[in-house]
Structure 1
Amino acid sequence: MRDQLKYYLIPVILLLFSMPSIAQMEREKANIVEPVETFWTPTLISQATTEHLSVGNLNVTIMHSFGIATTNPIQNFFGLDNVQNVRLGLDYGITDKWTAGIGRSSLFNVVDFRTKYAILQQNTSGSKPISISLKADLGIVTQQNRQPFKNDLSTLTSAIISKKVNEQIRLQLSPMYGYFSSVSAGNQTHLFSIGMGSQINISDRFALMAEYYPIIGERNPDTKNTFSLGLNIQTGGHVFQLFFASTRWHLEQYAMAQNREEFWAGDFRFGFNVNRIFGL
């Protein structure tokens, strides 16, 4: 009987000694600090966000804009008969903080090379309350225009500052500088803006988004500040973005330089973005 009792007591004693260790492991797991997911995609509508691809992931994007929806709406089917600009893009996560990409827009056949790096990422502990990323973009007009190659270049540099306020609201500011190597008479070589963006989550699958490009200082003649409203739709591996925007451009420096429509005057167009991430 004494021997049998010994066999029962041994497992009970081992279990009692292991319980503090298990509790400690649970506490350590609960205290893991991770980066916060602020936005669902690396691009809001046309503005870059502080969201980055994981290392080795490839994001394939299709960005499409149509004609002004209010111009002869029945005849032009609310602008859908008039394709204005299509951008096809690839972005790759070199590290969890560094992304590089290439794209081509059908308007002026602009090829763009871009890179983005996270210097600060908001985390779950609150010790880093905001995210900051730096972005650079080089655009090259490849459409034949009989001008020197150096005159076909444009660049964009920006600092993107974002914050996940709560489970529903995300906000960001993007001081940005656009440069064009060659401009027509009266246009500006240097352009500045404080890009503004927001995302409001409605559910796990749907979110509203908005962005605005107020120009700071001198602007090109007859241009307006770009404004866009949209809807994010999560479908597992895809994120679809449906939007109305005043600009036909999907590149920030061109949205600053060439938008001539006023959103609130009814000069808006329909567009959509498709984002598909592949793990390589």
Structure 2
Amino acid sequence: MRFLKEIILFVLFLLFISVRGNAQMERQRANVTEPVETFWTPTLISQTTTETLQARNLNSTIMHSFGIATTNAIQNFFGLDNIQNVRLGLDYGITDQWAVGIGRSSRFNVVDIRTKYAIMQQTTDNSKPLSVALKGDLGIITQENRQPFKDDVSILLSAIVSKKFNQTLSLQLSPMYGYYSSVGAGQENHLFSLGVGSRITLSERYSLIAEYYPVIGKRNSDTNNAFSLGLNIQTGGHVFQLFFASTRWHLEQYVIANNREQFWAGDFRFGFNVNRIFGL
């Protein structure tokens, strides 16, 4: 299957890059057991990670995507003149394992309500070798479209499994299911994907990030697997994420349902995310 071959090649490429990091991996003391920070943010680019907020911490996010960079590049200033989608979001840690959030995307005025629960978090002594979390998201189109409320609903359910292999490489897999209450001709109410995410640490302040959304089984017509590649910049209080992506969406259920472009064919757009955590 094409998507399986693409995932295998993607993972092998990341493992090859991490060989040097394996040789320089810091040794952990056997008597110290601490949670491992697999990723720097609760969201990779658009994929949710296993990272959780501590209790009474608030994470504010600004997510911004522009037009296709290669379409009338000079006239449209590499897509920056064409704002495609902006999402403003807040997530709050109720406990160290459970967080809830709300956000609004400018495209279709989608309001999303989400929750994430960490079942297990990887530890430095490897007594827990993986991090596992469950995520649910309810999306509601609030733009006036003359259709009943029940037809404006979408749902995303996912299980997220991640592992930090060494000081350089972190990987995650996210089996996900998207449901759409109302669809048009050539579209599906039920969609499945196996999200793949990665982080390659370059230094204490910089890391490369990538994510891939292969759709499994039936898909919407003219929909391609979404891919994004970005850079994390850690500034202490903020994490800035600069990226190129084929999708304009910041919600996973819409990424797997509405990605028309192909990244490797040059159909990519610039975007950025800003993450700021406040202790309350």
Does the pair score TM above 0.5?
Answer: yes
2:222, 2:70 → 1: CA distance? 20
Q: What's the TM-score, normalizing by structure 2?
A: 0.89
Which residue of structure 1 aligns with residue 163 of structure 2?
163
Which residue of structure 1 aligns with residue 146 of structure 2?
146
Given that 2:220 and 2:257 are in contact with CA atoms closer than 8 Å, whether structure 1 keeps it comes out as yes
Residue identity opposite 1:93 in structure 2: G
Which residue of structure 2 aligns with residue 39 of structure 1?
39
Which residue of structure 2 aligns with residue 182 of structure 1?
182
Residue identity opposite 2:69 in structure 1: A
Q: CA deviation at 1:254?
A: 0.1
State the SS of the aligned residue for 1:125: coil
Which residue of structure 1 aligns with residue 266 of structure 2?
266
State the SS of the aligned residue for 1:52: coil
Residue identity opposite 1:143 in structure 2: Q
Which residue of structure 2 aligns with residue 218 of structure 1?
218
2:247, 2:190 → 1: CA distance? 19
Which residue of structure 2 aligns with residue 18 of structure 1?
none
1:81-132 Cα shifts (integer Å, max 9, x gaps): 0000000000001111111000000000000000000111101111110000
State the SS of the aligned residue for 1:264: helix
Unaligned 5+ segments in structure 2 are 1-28
Unaligned 5+ segments in structure 1 are 1-28
Q: What's the TM-score, normalizing by structure 1?
A: 0.89
Residue identity opposite 1:169 in structure 2: L
Q: CA deviation at 1:32?
A: 3.8
Q: CA deviation at 1:30?
A: 7.2
1:91, 1:31 → 2: CA distance? 34
1:256, 1:250 → 2: CA distance? 11
State the SS of the aligned residue for 1:257: coil
Q: CA RMSD in A?
A: 0.9
Residue identity opposite 1:80 in structure 2: L
Residue identity opposite 2:169 in structure 1: I
Q: CA deviation at 1:31?
A: 2.4
Which residue of structure 1 aligns with residue 78 of structure 2?
78
Q: List aligned pairs for 1:52-63, cutoff 5 A.
A: 52-63=52-63
Which residue of structure 2 aligns with residue 102 of structure 1?
102
Identity among equivalent positions (%) equals: 77
State the SS of the aligned residue for 2:267: coil
State the SS of the aligned residue for 2:117: strand
1:266, 1:124 → 2: CA distance? 40
Which structure is larger by alpha-carbon Rg, 1 or 2?
A: 1
1:113, 1:33 → 2: CA distance? 34
Aligned residues: 252
Residue identity opposite 1:172 in structure 2: Q
State the SS of the aligned residue for 1:247: coil
Residue identity opposite 2:65 in structure 1: S
Residue identity opposite 2:262 in structure 1: E
1:129, 1:32 → 2: CA distance? 15
Q: CA deviation at 1:186?
A: 1.6
